[in-house]
Every structure is written in structure tokens, then in C-alpha cells.
Amino acid sequence: MFIARRRDRPSEAQVSPRAEWYDRNPSDQSVGYLAVAVAPHTTTTRATYTVPTGRKAFITALHAEVYRRDAPTTAGKVYAQVFWSGVVMLKASHLNATVGSVERSSVGVDNALMAGDTVFIETCDLSTGGTMDYQVGVAIVEFDA
């Protein structure tokens, strides 16, 4: 028979009546951008998520990939990035004219977002001619604050 040692048993003060975050009306709010053969363009926001009032959220994973589909006349910097309230959290940068060249960036995180915090995805291609494919994803779980 298992007998818990005294220090393993939480006192009344340690037991919170509040449910864990994953039991407080959680919902998937993931955002992403998936596109093929995109022509050069200036900085463009592809997706945005804002935490509603009375809610919080966790970012659980980030992924960005940029892939050279068609050769440019002149290769310029290409990137896909994820911003969190003005700070770049993840970026995949690419400077290569070779068709099939690719840059990827992925990370698993547990950043907590408060009401009003914003996450957004941006892409940019400063090349002349050619096209790129983009795949960017931000996994977000939202719950009652």
C-alpha cells in the first residue's frame, strides 16, 4: 500500500480551487499562412491574432519556411517572420536564386500572452522577379484568464 510522505501531501493553502489553464474553456486559435508562387512584395502582414479581453493564451509552437520556386533576375532578401507585440519571435531569412533552395525555422515555446497582446505573421521579398513559397504557422491555445 502506498503511503504518501508528509511532504508529498499539499496543505490546504497549496491547493487552489481554480482550475488549471487547460481546463478553463480552452480553444485553438492557431494562425498561419500557406502560399505558393508568390511574387516579390514589400512587407505584408498575412495573419494577426489579438488576445480578447478576459482571456489569456499560450503560443506552443512556431514554424516558418521560405522556398525558392522560380528563379529571380536578381535575388534579394526574402523572409517570413512572426512578431509578438513588436518583437520578432521567429524568422526564416533567405537570399538565394537557386530554385529549390529553402530556409526553415522552428521552435517550441510556451510564451504567455495577455489580453491585448498581438501576434502577427509578415512576409517580404525584395528580389527582382521570381517567386517564393511560404509556410508559416503559430500554434496558439487560448483560455479564460
The distance of closest approach from Cβ of residue 2 to other proteins in the complex, given in angstroms and rounded to an integer, is: 47
Sign of the dihedral defined by the CA atoms of residues 112, 116, 119, 124, in that order:
negative
Q: Which of 28, 42, 98, 110 binds other proteins (CB under 8 A)?
A: 42
Length of the chain: 145
33 binds other proteins (CB under 8 A): yes
DSSP letter (8 states) at residue 129: S
Question: What phi, psi does 64 have (nearest 5°)?
Answer: -145, 140
Which one of residues 19, 23, 25, 39 is an interface residue with other proteins (CB under 8 A)? 39
Query: How far apart, in Å, do the first and last CA atoms of the chain sit?
Result: 40
**Which window, 7-15, 59-67, 100-108, 120-128, contacts other proteins (CB under 8 A)?**
120-128
Interacting residue with other proteins among 21, 24, 26, 46 (CB under 8 A)? 46
Q: Which of 11, 14, 53, 98 binds other proteins (CB under 8 A)?
A: 53
Residue whose C-alpha cell is 537570399: 95
| Residue 57 C-beta-side C-alpha neighbours within 13 Å | 25
Name the residues that contact other proteins, by CB under 8 A: 29, 31-36, 38-39, 41-50, 52-53, 115-116, 118, 120, 122, 124
